[in-house]
Amino acid sequence: MSGERRQRLAPRLAEAGLDALLVWSSPNRRYLSGFTGSSAYLLAGADGRGLLLTDFRYLEQAAAQAPGWTVIRHGRDVWSDLAGQAAAAGWRTVGVEADHVTLAAFRRLEAAGEARGITWRPVSGLVEGLRLVKTPDEVEAVRAAAALARRALEAVWPRLVPGVSEAEVALELECTMRRLGAEAEAFPTIVASGPRGSLPHARPGPRRLEAGDLVTIDFGARLDGYHSDETVTVGIGAAAAAHPLRPVYEVVRRAQAAGIAAIRPGVPASAVDRAARGVIEEAGYGEAFGHSTGHGVGLEVHEAPWAAAQPPVDYVLEPGMILTVEPGIYLPGRGGVRLEDTLVVTETGCERLTTWDKDWRTT
């Protein structure tokens, strides 16, 4: 698989006028080579060749995980080693992932390359463009992560009772995901109860759940490198049936359904945002929905495509693309509601990969 992906990258490099690309990003490195260690550099050539430079700690791992790549041990001066290997391969114009390399690192590369006739050129999106459309195996990896996260929430559900703290809920959910086999949580779990529900990215705190509360839980698992992402908002106990934000919940539910219904091949990702946002604006809550409607999910929990009003690139949806739909309404002093699913674009529409029922539900 890694060799096939490198071969797909090669013509993109040639079209960009590059002899090779220095791959710095960890997700891009894993996507191209399969290597999961924390320290390595890829040099992927437009001629199809590939070098993986790493230190002593990862030589055995790299050889096992990255077949088809020439594994090279770099020394203390990694900048000189990168420039030297590029020069030895005959690669004179080498792209550098501008979105991932610091200015200080780029200057060191320039200094090392100058003596060897290497020109480093900042570029963006060359590998990310390959990652946009997922293979069936990648879709199943995200589905498996989502199924694991759902099992964890089901296990923790009985603990969503008055008296337990947000922090305790988050810890239990994260530990349960790990016990079920997750590598880690996909991101720090969000648990926001009562009036704290107006904080879109609230950190779980000491506040204890109360009868009648609404609680927003944004959670996900990482499994085999791939992430899931899902958000539920639930009521605590029968008293929540009369919660004053119940009508707001229904607005968000309709907005999410409209966004999901907009997903199909040939539609720009921004249309998904417009569909969901229009429902919320029509209900009079437009100012209370201040973030984008969705994002891609894969080796990163936030990646392209972006379902936003003005995304950096407004990608046209294709079968195999994965994105979330997560509208929310946030009312300071009162609380908030967010509902999120992760979906894959199909030939005729989309399919949910996260499966928690988003109809109104209480514990």
The pLDDT value recorded for residue 2 is 67
Query: What is the structure's pLDDT at 84?
Result: 97
- Quote the tokens at residue 300: 């990163």
Expressed as residue numbers, the domain containing 140 is 136-352
The interaxial angle of helices 78-89 and 103-114, nearest 10 deg, is 50
CB 269 within 8 A of CB 305: yes
Does residue 242 sit within a domain? yes
In a domain, 360, yes or no: no
Q: Give domain status of residue 358, yes or no.
A: no
Residue 317: pLDDT over 80: yes
Residues 78 and 151 in one domain: no
Question: Both 29 and 153 in a single domain?
Answer: no
Overall average pLDDT of the 196-221 stretch: 98
Last residue of a domain, one of 98, 131, 164: 131
Residues 153 and 293 in one domain: yes
- For residues 281-308, give the mean pLDDT: 98
Tokens representing 192 are 């926001």
Return d(Cα 126, Cα 293) in angstroms, integer.
25
CATH number at residue 14: 3.40.350.10
Q: Can you tell me the distance from the alpha carbon of 298 to that of 293, in angstroms, rounded to the nearest whole number?
A: 17
- Are both 106 and 148 inside the same structural domain? no
* CATH code, domain with 308: 3.90.230.10
Convert the pLDDT of each residue in 61-78 to its tens digit.
999 999 999 999 999 999
Same structural domain, 347 and 220:
yes
Is residue 265 in a domain? yes
Q: Which of 131, 156, 188 is the last residue of a domain?
A: 131
pLDDT one-digit tens code per residue, 111-146:
999 999 999 999 999 999 999 999 999 999 999 999
Residue 51 confidence class, pLDDT cut points 50, 70, 90 = very high
Nearest to 290 by CA among 199, 227, 359, 188: 199
The answer as to whether 359 is a domain residue is no
Q: Give the confidence band of 3 by pLDDT, cuts at 50, 70, 90.
A: confident
Residues 51 and 194 in one domain: no
Q: How many structural domains are present in the chain?
A: 2
- The answer to whether residues 279 and 295 belong to one domain is yes
pLDDT confidence band for 290 (50 / 70 / 90): very high
Q: Do 235 and 290 belong together in one domain?
A: yes
**Would residue 362 count as lying in a domain?**
no
Taking each helix axis from N to C terminus, what angle separates 26-33 and 2-15, rounded to the nearest 10 degrees?
120
CA-based torsion, 313, 315, 320, 323: positive or negative:
positive
Same domain for 91 and 143, yes or no, is no
pLDDT tens digits, one per residue of 321-341: 999 999 999 999 999 999 999
**Do 90 and 107 fall within a single domain?**
yes
Q: How is residue 100 written in tokens?
A: 């991932």
Q: State the pTM of this model.
A: 0.96
pLDDT value of residue 304: 98
Residue percentage of the chain with pLDDT more than 90: 99
pLDDT of residue 280 exceeding 90, the answer is: yes
**357 inside domain:** no
DSSP 74-104: --S-HHHHHHHHHHHHT--EEEEETTTS-HH
DSSP class of residue 158? G
Separation of alpha carbons 162 and 210, rounded Å = 5
> 198 in a domain, yes or no?
yes
Angstrom distance (rounded) from CA 90 to CA 267 = 42
Q: Which of 106, 131, 156 is the last residue of a domain?
A: 131
Residue 1 confidence (pLDDT) above 80: no
Q: Are residues 50 and 121 in the same domain?
A: yes
**Co-location of 22 and 124 in the same domain:** yes
**69-113 confidence digits (pLDDT tens):** 999 999 999 999 999 999 999 999 999 999 999 999 999 999 999
Note the pLDDT of residue 109: 97
